[in-house]
Amino acid sequence: MKNDVTKIVLAGEGGQGIQTIAKILSLALVKADYFVSYIPQFGPEQRGTPSVSFIQFSKSQITYPKFDTADIVMVLRRRAIKTIESYIGSKTDVLFDSSTIARQNFTLNNSRLFAIPATKLAEEEFGAKNQNILALAALAKNFLDYPKNALWEIIAEQLGKKFAKNKSLAGKAKEAFDFAYDFSLESKKFTKAEYDTSDSLIVKKNSQRVAVIVPKYCKGCGICILKCPVNALSFGKTLGVYGTPVPEIDIDKCINCGNCYRFCPDCAIRVVKK
């Protein structure tokens, strides 16, 4: 770690736990005997809007909490890039989620780009709620060289209530943390951004019916999947407004019962006969 002031920006969307990992990281730096400044920023709606954290740490006192250019930027959603891209300079180390953000989404002249496919790994290996744990572990190891066991102790302490209620969640979180801490970051060849947040309607149709799913309304609760009597719905790779997967539909299996529309609390899905 550096002895001068190190400036960090963490960015994503509300509901991802950006502020949670910012708090954990700040506590970890305090326990490492650093002076720390942590300022959260998020929209009034919180979920589905950009969520940003500004962190500074130093061996000497921090006299001013604001800064223009970050030393480290971590961004987990494409839609958050616009909010924080002004803090990215030519020497800024950028860590991003390559399964939600494509390399070409970064238009600034910066070659110090590194990635971990956090969302893909969480969805396919460790559980959707652990994408922020994966990102935090990768950041702490590769850019701060923070001791592994010491960091996990702080995570376990801060998330203790959640872990106590769900032992399986605690086990998967630890697996995700260990995996990401030892993960070799992508720097030249990046994972395909197949879990990107969608702003467009999803339309599926055949000769009898048309299904419409609205990602910007869907919060990924899964009620429609549970209520479908023929298992025509399952979670897909498209992300909704909260950064969680939205359902995809097998339109040929669908019997147009109307359950998905009837039980969806957000009017995010409907199937109609032609």
> pLDDT tens string for the chain (274 positions)?
444 899 999 998 876 689 999 999 999 999 999 999 999 987 655 555 788 999 999 999 998 888 999 999 999 988 889 999 999 998 999 999 999 999 989 877 667 999 999 999 998 899 877 899 999 999 999 999 999 999 999 999 998 888 888 778 889 999 999 999 999 999 989 999 988 777 789 999 999 999 999 988 888 889 999 999 999 999 987 877 766 788 999 999 999 999 999 999 989 999 999 8
Whether the CB-CB separation of 160 and 112 falls below 8 Å is answered with: no
Quote the Cα angle for 140-142-146, to 5°: 40
Q: Which CATH number fits domain 202-273: 3.30.70.20, 3.90.550.10, 3.50.50.60, 3.40.1440.60?
A: 3.30.70.20
Per CATH, 6-181 and 202-273 having the same topology is answered no
> Would you state the pLDDT for residue 68?
94
Which of 3.40.50.720, 3.40.50.740, 1.10.3210.10, 3.40.920.10 is the CATH number of 6-181?
3.40.920.10
Q: What dihedral angle (degrees, nearest 10) is formed by the CA atoms of 139, 30, 54, 134? A: 30
Q: For residue 142, which of 151, 153, 155 has the smallest C-alpha distance?
A: 151
What was the pLDDT predicted at 2?
46
Domain residue ranges of the chain, discontinuous segments joined by +: 6-181, 202-273
